[in-house]
Amino acid sequence: MKAVVCTRYGAPEVLKLQQVAMPEPGPGEIRVKVMTTTVTVADFRVRSMTVPKPFGLVMRFVLGFRKPRNPILGMEIAGVVDQVGAQVTRFKVGDKVMGPTLKGFGGYAAYRVFKSTDPLVHLPTNYSFRQGAALPVGARTALHYLQKVELKKGEHILVYGASGSVGTYTVQLAKHLGAEVTAVCSGKNAEWVKALGADRVLDYTAPRFEEQLRTYDVLFIAVDQWPEAACLPYLKKGGRYTNITRMFIAPRWAWKARKAGQKMVLAGSPPETLAFMEEVKALAEKGVFRPVLDCDYPLEDIRKAHHHVDQGHKKGNVTITVHPETLL
Ligand SMILES: NC(=O)c1ccc[n+]([C@@H]2O[C@H](COP(=O)([O-])OP(=O)(O)OC[C@H]3O[C@@H](n4cnc5c(N)ncnc54)[C@H](OP(=O)(O)O)[C@@H]3O)[C@@H](O)[C@H]2O)c1
C-alpha cells in the first residue's frame, strides 16, 4: 500500500511516498481504509524535532534518535472499516469512523490497523471525511483544557491564537458553555472567527492591541506568542490561565499567580480514551464543533501541506485526501 515515510528529522523533504506492507488485523482488531488525515502542529514538531530545548534528548529517546521509530506520521484520521478481526463487535465492514492516532501515529497511509478498544468512534452522520479527520486532535484539546480551567457560564474568556485548530474549537465550545468570548487573531481572519461565535475579535497586529484588552476570568493561550509578562496583567484575581504549549512556567509567575489566587494549567496530554472521544463526538453531533477547513492536499503533495503548516498561519485545519479515487 502507499504511505508517506519520514526518513529522518528535518524539512518537509524528508517525507517520502513509498510502498509499504499492507497491515493485517488480528483478533480484536480492525483495519481502516484511511480516507482523510491531517497535518497537525504535532506532525510538524515530530517531523522537524522542534521541541523546547531541554526536551530534545528526551524526545529523541521517546520517538527515535535519528528518525521517528514509527516513521509513518499522521495524528488523526477518518475512514471506512474494511476488515474486522475475530471477537470484534463494535464495528462492521463499511462503518465510517474517525479518531486520533497520536499513540503510534500512522495516518499518512492508505490503511491503518486499530484495536477495537482504541478511541475510534463512528463518524457523525452530519460530517464529511474531511471534517471527521480534522476533529479529534483540536477538539479534544479544546475540551480538555476548558474542563481543566472550569469555565463557567457568564465568565469572560480570552482565546489567544483563535484562528488555529485548537483556537477555533475553543471559541466554539466556550460560547456553547455560555461564556463571553474575546478571540485574538490577525485582522485578516477576524470576520470568520467572529462568525464562529466570538463576541469580540482583537487583532494582535494592530498598533494599540493592548489598549483594547480588559481583564478576564480565563486566559486560554493556544499559540505561544504572548509572554506571561505581557498577558498575566489581564487575568483577574482568582482567574485561570492555561498555556497548552508550555509544560513549565518561570517560578516567579507561578508564585505571583498563587498570591493572586490564580490557577495555572500547563500542557499535558488530553486523555486518548474512547470515553473522551465519545464526548467530543457528542458535541460534534450537536453542532457545537464545526471544523474549520483550510486547504486540502492529496497524499502525494504531503510536502506542500507540511510547508503550509510550517508557516504557523493555517486557518483551522489542513487536510490530506488519501484515496481521491474513492471520493469521486
Ligand atoms: N497540549 C496539547 O495537548 C496540545 C494539543 C494540540 C496542540 N497543541 C499545541 O497547541 C499549539 C496550537 O496548535 P494549533 O494546531 O491550534 O495551531 P495552528 O493551527 O498552527 O495555529 C496557527 C494559528 O496561529 C496564529 N498565530 C501565528 N502567530 C501568531 C501570533 N504571533 N499571535 C497570535 N496568533 C498567531 C495564526 O493566526 P494568524 O494567521 O491570524 O496570525 C494561525 O491561525 C501548537 O503549539 C501545538 O503544538 C497542544
User: Is residue 41 within a helix (H) or strand (E), and if so which, with residue range?
Assistant: helix 41-48
- 187 and 128 fall within a common domain: no
In a domain, 51, yes or no: yes
Residue-number span of the structural domain to which 12 is assigned: 2-135+291-327
Identify the CATH number of the domain in which residue 181 sits: 3.40.50.720
Instruction: State the cell numbers at 23.
Output: 497491515
164 lines ligand 1 (CB under 6 A): yes
Identify the CATH number of the domain in which residue 17 sits: 3.90.180.10
Strand-pairing partners, residue 183, are 159, 201
- 13 and 77 fall within a common domain: yes
- 202 and 113 fall within a common domain: no
32 lines ligand 1 (CB under 6 A): no
136 lines ligand 1 (CB under 6 A): no
Query: What sign does the CA torsion over 52, 58, 62, 67 have?
Result: positive
- 159 and 237 fall within a common domain: yes
Please tell me the distance from the alpha carbon of residue 230 to that of residue 206, in angstroms, as a whole number. 15
First to last CA, the chain: 20
User: Is residue 136 within a helix (H) or strand (E), and if so which, with residue range?
Assistant: helix 136-148
- 51 and 124 fall within a common domain: yes
Please tell me the distance from the alpha carbon of residue 176 to that of residue 4, in angstroms, as a whole number. 38
Q: What percentage of the chain's residues is helix, strand, coil (to nearest 5)? A: 35, 25, 40
Residues in the chain, pLDDT under 50: none
pLDDT at residue 328 in the model: 53
pLDDT tens readout for residues 242-288: 999 998 888 999 999 999 999 999 998 899 899 999 999 999 999 99
Please tell me the distance from the alpha carbon of residue 92 to that of residue 73, in angstroms, as a whole number. 26
pLDDT tens readout for residues 194-251: 999 999 999 999 999 999 999 999 999 999 999 999 999 999 999 999 999 998 888 9
Domain count, the chain: 2
| Ligand 1 center from residue 163 Cα (angstroms) | 8
- 7 and 130 fall within a common domain: yes
| Ligand 1 center from residue 312 Cα (angstroms) | 7
- 229 and 312 fall within a common domain: no
Of all atoms in ligand 1, which is nearest to the CA of residue 316? Answer: 19
Q: Whose CA is nearest to atom 5 of ligand 1?
A: 141
Instruction: State the cell numbers at 167.
Output: 483556537
**For the chain, what is the largest distance between any 2 Cα atoms, rounded to a whole number of angstroms?**
63
pLDDT at residue 56 in the model: 85
pLDDT at residue 294 in the model: 98
265 lines ligand 1 (CB under 6 A): no
Q: How many CB atoms lie within 10 A of CB 307?
A: 15
Please tell me the distance from the alpha carbon of residue 247 to that of residue 13, in angstroms, as a whole number. 29
- The answer to whether the predicted template modeling score (pTM) of the entire model surpasses 0.95 is yes
